[in-house]
Chain A
Amino acid sequence: MAKRNDDLVIAAILCKWCSYAGADLAGTSRVKYPENVRVIKVPCSGRVSPRFAIKALYEGADGVLISGCHPGDCHYSEGNMRARRRMFTFKTLTEFMGIEEERIQMSWVSASEAAKWKSVVEDVLDTVNRVGRNIIFEDGNE
């Protein structure tokens, strides 16, 4: 596998019940993972509008990770399923904007899955690394 670019930045939009707590548990359990993620907490992955992803990429993030509770575990019954449908549809449109679909990713991480959080972060970084730094919105490219 190609060496990962250390400068990549991933905006991770996490639901506060599962994925944020899972990331916290990684800390409590001292599970080490790459530094490149910056976490934004939201109540539910269903609250995540595609605008958030676009905004993050526009501001220079190389990738966006949206993570919520496992299907069937949503604190608000079905917000995560909405998020999945929405992001699935949205990803089919990103190409028209010149955004590689690899830059937007979804995962399920529960509050007890510290190790999974680590592997999700690493997977997302590897995938984003394949498409490289995000220069779509840099001056001259807009």
Chain B
Amino acid sequence: MLRIGVFVCHCGNNIAGRVRVEDVAKAAADFPGVLYSTTSMYMCSSEGQGLITDMIKKHNLTKIVVASCSPNLHEKTFRGLAEKNGLNYYSVEIANIREQVSWVHDDIDKATEKAIDIVRMAVAKVSHGRPLKKRSVKVTKRALVIGGGIAGIQAALDLADAGFKVTMVEKEPTIGGKMAMFDKTFPTLDCSMCILTPKMVQTRDHENIELLTFSEVEELDGHVGEFNAKIRKKTRYVDEELCIGCGACEKVCPVKTESTFNQGLVKRKAIYFDFPQAVPKVPRIDNDKCIKCGACAKVCPKKCIRYNQKDEIFKRTFGVVIVATGSEIFDDSAYGEYGYGKIPDVITSLQFERMLVAGGPTDGKVLRPSDGKVPKSVVFIKCVGSRDEKKGYPYCSRVCCMYTAKHVLLLNEHHPGTDIYVFYIDIRSFGKNYEEFVKRVQDETGALYLRGRVSRIFDRDGKLHVFGTDTLTGNQVKVDADMVVLANGLVPAKSTRKIARVLNLSKDTHGWLNELHPKLAPVETATRGVFIAGTCQGPKDIPDAVASGSAAASRAMSILNHSSLELEPTIAHVNQFLCSGCENCFMACPFGAIEMVDYKDPNTKKIRRVAQVIESKCTGCGVCSSVCPVPAIDVSGFSAEDVFVEIEALGKGIRKNDAGIKTNGKKK
């Protein structure tokens, strides 16, 4: 027999301020199967949970409906509580009357009415639901880290140091990511490479880390504890095992082509290293540019050039996945008025950064791309692509204010006496010692910080005429500059967008990967066992990226430490007696989780082909169920019947209103 208890939460004033919770509890008492209903100030508090425990015992309740906040917050709490008291974990339904009622509606009558309807639907669903049993899966003790930037490196090292096996997959020929492109880091002015390379080398040499560079994850299926990945290791045309990284090949290569790592500031060869400290120190042949002259093969002392090398495919199983695929800079060509791409001396911040690097394309000298001269006056324009809904993105990219301050300081150091102008909207220096750093830069360099935007840049007579406003004085400003540096905002890397497709991760409006909860689950994703770290989630500076790498590693360890895990039982099941073997579900399943098997019909004693669910692959999306003509296949917890009873309860709410009986007790 059904013995349902309905518990309506006040949530302080959060719900009770807009919904008459007592009326909801009173109305719920009349719903079929409901034995007991009450309210409490905070259902999630120990007092509220105690009340539920007591009432389960006192009234012998078999099912529970909690009308409270979103199930995404406390469903686990209340289901766990029910389980502790001897009920099935799935015998609890949450009626979401806070996020979807009290917080979004102002009319108390209507909000109360809606809350009652929602509770009615939850009661109907819970009364129909059958007890479900959790599935248990083994945990493969190996982690996949996608992306070898600083966040991925940190995550991999943390996991490896804790004794777990890690496979790191990096799409570029070397690990290091964006941090490897930087000269100094704000606000301490640590040399970026000097603090990064030890970590890169550790990653390469760690006994627990398998490093796959110039590789990409092409497919990933499975679930927490057992993700199956297909990784393509693209060919470098160089034997990675034999190569000693002497660089003789690079010297003799006759081809010259644009260096992407150096932001197009210098040429590189067709066989090349991105930078001298590359890890692994193995060159790569750019097959599109190579003229197959054979010069490199001739000089190679180890004979490791392989023109016929093919891509390799690795298949691995992982318990957890950490995505750290990063970001890239905003494409400045959206700002036609700044002339990027047309005026050679208007450059990106990353180009400027490369110029500052001592071992970089200009040996640490800031030089105008047009004539190779040192600029006498330089204008920095901040918020290019950030905080600009018209041409860029509405968000703040968080790093541009600080790296521009660093650029100003370093420019003054490399070329003292340069006239420096900085156009800004606000100066956002939020971190430890950041504000002090900006103050120091302003005091030491004498750079003129102008609050306002630049409207136009003209290239006349070898000078860049920069027109802008100074909104503090209200004056129009014109600066004649030799070079303009655009402080680009950050956007998700193309590889981040790509990996989101491969792993089915959710993105926000701008393409950043979504965390499970912005405050309380910052590195988890909606897919259990998949974590995000670094700037694939949103703009971050290096300390934040490192912190999120460590956080992701620690969350991953909390899974890898278990030998087995319990999984949600909400997956598809086939009623093979009813199945007609049409193969609709077999063809529709996006995960290949359905196989066709022989089945002996108990009535006819004949063997026929029917569908069967491969439990380890099923994710419970229910696509199979919606294409089944019988229907013989359904998803536990979200079966067609489950949805139908909910809809019927919804209908009852409508008819009740039509009969003129307003549920809040007033006559219509």
A residues engaging B (CB < 8 A)? 7, 9, 11, 13, 17-18, 21, 23-28, 30-33, 35, 38-44, 46-49, 51-52, 55-56, 58-61, 69, 72-79, 82, 86, 110-113
Contacts and interface: CB of A to CB of B under 8 A. Distances in A.
Interface string B604-648: 000000000000000111110111000100010010100110111
Contacts of A78: 590
A58 B100 CA distance: 24
B508 interface: yes
The 7 closest A-B pairs by CB, nearest first: A59-B651, A27-B99, A47-B622, A76-B621, A27-B103, A60-B654, A46-B623
B650 A56 contact: yes
Nearest to B643: A52
B650 A44 contact: no
A33 B514 CA distance: 25
A60 B651 contact: yes
Contacts of A39: 96, 100, 118
B667 to A, nearest CB: 15
A46 B626 contact: yes
28 contacts: A7-B657, A9-B654, A24-B70, A27-B99, A30-B104, A39-B96, A43-B621, A43-B635, A43-B638, A44-B621, A46-B621, A47-B623, A47-B625, A47-B638, A49-B640, A55-B644, A56-B650, A58-B651, A61-B647, A73-B507, A75-B527, A75-B621, A76-B619, A79-B590, A79-B622, A82-B588, A82-B623, A113-B509
B63 interface: no
A108 to B, nearest CB: 12
Interface stretch (B105-113, B151-159, B269-277, B440-448): B105-113
A116 to B, nearest CB: 9
A69 B621 contact: no
Nearest to A18: B506
B626 A38 contact: no
Nearest to B70: A24
Contact of A38 (B106, B117, B500): B117
B306 interface: no
Contacts of B638: 42-43, 47
B504 A24 contact: no
Interface string B517-528: 000000000110
Given A38-B121, A44-B621, A47-B635, A110 B103 contact: no
Nearest to A17: B526
Contact of B621 (A31, A79, A110, A111): A79
Contacts of A55: 643-644, 647-648
B5 interface: no
Nearest to A86: B626
A73 B113 CA distance: 34
A43 B98 contact: no
B135 interface: no
A33 B621 CA distance: 29
Contacts of A69: 506
B72 interface: yes
Nearest to B110: A35
Contacts of A41: 71
Given A21-B72, A82-B588, A40 B570 contact: no
Contacts of A26: 99, 103-104
A9 to B, nearest CB: 5
Measured as residues with beta carbon below 8 angstroms from the partner, the interface class of chain B is: 35 or more
Contact of A42 (B113, B506, B643, B648): B643
Nearest to A21: B72
A32 to B, nearest CB: 6
A21 B646 CA distance: 19
B668 to A, nearest CB: 10
A42 B646 CA distance: 11
B414 interface: no
Interface of B: 70-72, 96, 98-100, 103-107, 110-111, 113-114, 117-118, 121, 500-501, 504, 506-509, 514, 526-527, 570, 588, 590-591, 619-623, 625-627, 631, 635, 638, 640, 643-644, 646-648, 650-651, 653-655, 657-658
A77 B118 CA distance: 30
Contacts of B71: 41
A49 B647 CA distance: 13
Nearest to A31: B104
| Chain A CB within 10 A, most for which of B588, B590, B623 | B623
Given A55-B647, A59-B647, A82 B99 contact: no
Contact of B514 (A76, A82, A111): A111
A112 B590 contact: no
A40 B621 contact: no
Given A27-B104, A82-B623, A77 B647 contact: no
B107 A35 contact: yes
A41 B94 CA distance: 11
Nearest to A50: B626
A112 B514 contact: yes
B620 A43 contact: yes
Nearest to A48: B626
Contacts of A58: 651
B118 to A, nearest CB: 7
A25 B640 CA distance: 27
A77 B592 CA distance: 12
A86 B651 CA distance: 24
Nearest to A12: B100
A13 B121 CA distance: 13
Contacts of B114: 35, 38
A58 B644 CA distance: 11
B648 A59 contact: yes
Contacts of A77: 504, 590-591
Given A38-B118, A51-B640, A76 B623 contact: yes
Contacts of B113: 35
Nearest to B501: A72
B65 to A, nearest CB: 14
Contacts of A111: 506, 508, 514
A21 B525 CA distance: 13
Nearest to B654: A60
Given A21-B72, A47-B621, A59-B647, A75 B626 contact: no
Contact of A110 (B107, B506, B650): B506
A32 B648 CA distance: 27
A39 to B, nearest CB: 6
A49 B500 CA distance: 27
Given A24-B72, A27-B103, A112-B508, 11 more contacts: A9-B650, A11-B650, A17-B506, A33-B104, A35-B114, A42-B622, A49-B625, A61-B651, A74-B504, A79-B590, A82-B627
Given A27-B98, A30-B103, A60-B655, A40 B626 contact: no
B100 A23 contact: yes
A35 to B, nearest CB: 4
A30 to B, nearest CB: 6
A47 B626 contact: yes
Contacts of B117: 38
A43 B106 CA distance: 29
Contact of A32 (B105, B635, B654): B105
Nearest to A7: B657
Contacts of A74: 504
A32 B104 contact: yes
Contacts of B118: 38-39
